[in-house]
Amino acid sequence: MGEKNELRKIHERIATLEGQLHELDKPALHTPAWAWVFLGLVLGPMGAIVIGAFAFTIWIYAASPFEEAGHETEFTPPPPPQKAHRVLGVRWYPQPDVTPITTDVNGDGQDDLVGLAWGQSIEKSLHVVALDGKTFEPIWDAGGFRGTWHSDITHVYLVNDRVVATDTAGDIHVIEKTTGKEERTIAYPAGVEIACDAPKSDVLLVSSRRWGGHGVEAFDLSTGLAVAVPSGRTCAFHDDAAQKVIPGVPAPKALDEKRFKAPKDVFVLSAFDADAVTFASSRHQLSNGPDNEAYGVAWDTKTAKIAWQHSLMDTGDVEHENGRHTLVVDGNVITVYQAEIEKNPARKGPFRVVAWNVATGEKQWSTALPSSAEGSWLGAVGGASGRLFVVTDQGLHVLDPQSGAVLTTLERF
């Protein structure tokens, strides 16, 4: 019995060992170390990104305002970027009677300013500029063209939505009004001393008394070719047909001296019909010396009786010998002159702009514009409905003709 039991135990051990050997013979799965490193480098950052995005979404949701019942969330757009200030580096052209043309250039319903500017270089110094009528910022700049100081053949005109500039080389530059792009150049060797436009056409009439001038000539601005002068049109010096009538600014006219008799020692320069009166810009010969002063006379248009007459200078002013200008704008007689300081002819005072009611002669306002002690120059005065322009030295002053307030002064733009 004892031996049988011993043999049974031996067989059981043998069977156990065989089973263990069988398990050892099966292939075992083994992951090498480089694989674990690769998985860590790839899966680790991906997991971090996923977890970060999930956390960011939760944070945004927690920080954003909720749309509660009856309360909608409003989106406020960012402010538009500010437009950069454009600088042309030019000044107003120094020639008498060169004041801005007023016309809507950019289509915003506000009249803009178009005129001549001066770059002060030796060649190609003349520019034609358009300035916004609200902000007075440059819209476009055409040029430079040939220009010299104080040239009597340098002008700017508006002809049927085209801007026309004449330069000192005798060229006529035709410029597209809205863009400032030059369409063509027309040679006129005599140089344009005066020009007129035939109403509602592209024809420009020019005239010159200089060498090479041939009386009145005409050019079609759409082609640049010379054409016949339209029937009934002239463009001569002191030609009433050449005077433009701007809204709010009566055109000068010849005075009927037999009907509207001027007072003694009063010399009529130009006359205007405005507000039931005929007003004459005049000079009054002073009794105490050879000098004279700016003077105004107004007659009742129906009866020809004098409605009012007096000096057009401000109280206490003595006019400096530097030119003066008088015109009628929006029912006011505007006079611009330079005053002397303490009645000393060697000292130049401010430029004075004075307004008088054209119907009654009553003073409306007086505005002083600065000037230098020496070398000051009164260049031009012009107007349009709602605007008054005064050019002193090489600066352009824009005033309100009803109040005398200076809207802007453009000394360099």
Q: Can you give the pLDDT at residue 241?
A: 46
Q: For CA atoms 413, 147, 104, 365, give the dihedral sign.
A: positive
Secondary structure E strands in 94-238? 101-103, 112-118, 126-131, 138-145, 155-159, 162-166, 171-176, 182-187, 194-197, 203-207, 217-220, 225-227
Which is it for strands 91-92 and 266-274: parallel, antiparallel or unpaired?
unpaired
pLDDT, residue 142, reads 94
Q: What is the strand order of the sheet 406-410 is part of?
A: 378-384, 387-392, 395-399, 406-410
Helix/strand/coil percentages in the chain, nearest 5: 15, 40, 45
113 residue type, one letter: L
In 275-404 the beta strands, taken as DSSP E runs, fall at: 277-285, 292-300, 306-311, 319-329, 332-341, 344-357, 363-369, 378-384, 387-392, 395-399
Q: What's residue 251's pLDDT?
A: 77
Q: What local confidence, expressed as pLDDT, does residue 277 receive?
A: 94
What are the structure tokens assigned to 279, written together? 């007003």
Which residue has tokens 């605007």? 387
Per-residue pLDDT of the chain (413 residues; tens, 9 = 90+): 566 666 677 667 766 666 655 555 555 545 566 555 555 555 566 666 656 655 555 555 555 444 444 444 455 665 555 554 566 788 888 887 788 999 999 999 999 999 999 886 666 789 999 999 999 999 999 988 998 888 889 999 898 889 999 999 999 999 999 999 999 999 998 888 888 877 778 899 888 877 666 678 899 999 999 999 888 777 765 554 445 556 677 777 888 888 999 888 888 888 888 889 999 988 887 776 556 788 999 999 999 999 999 999 998 887 776 678 898 998 999 999 888 776 665 567 888 999 999 999 999 999 999 876 556 788 888 888 789 999 988 889 999 999 999 999 988 88
Scanning the structure block, which residue is given the tokens 């319903």? 109
Indicate the pairing of strand 319-329 with strand 363-369: unpaired
Q: Which pair of tokens denotes residue 239?
A: 């030609």
Check residue 59 and give its pLDDT: 55
Range 123-130 contact pairs with CB under 8 angstroms and sequence separation of 24 or more: 126/93, 126/154, 126/165, 126/167, 126/168, 127/88, 127/90, 128/156, 128/163, 128/165, 128/173, 128/175, 128/180, 129/88, 129/90, 129/413, 130/105, 130/163, 130/177, 130/180
List the beta bridge partners of residue 164: 157, 174
- Strand (E) or helix (H) holding 91: strand 91-92
Neighbouring CB atoms inside 10 A of 52's CB total: 10
Q: What distance in Å separates the CA atoms of residue 158 and residue 164, rounded to the nearest whole number?
A: 6
pTM value is 0.73
Q: Identity (one letter) of the amino acid at 220?
A: D
Write down the pLDDT at residue 151.
Answer: 87
Number of helical (H) and strand (E) elements in the chain, helices listed first: 2, 25
Q: Which domains are assigned to the chain? A: 85-242 (2.40.10.480), 245-413 (2.40.128.630)
Q: Report the distance separating Cα 134 and Cα 241, nearest Å.
A: 32
Give the DSSP H or E segment for 409.
Answer: strand 406-410
pLDDT of 269 reads 87
The predicted pLDDT at position 252 comes to 79
Residue 59, sorted as left (phi over 0), alpha (psi -120 to 50) or beta, turns out to be alpha
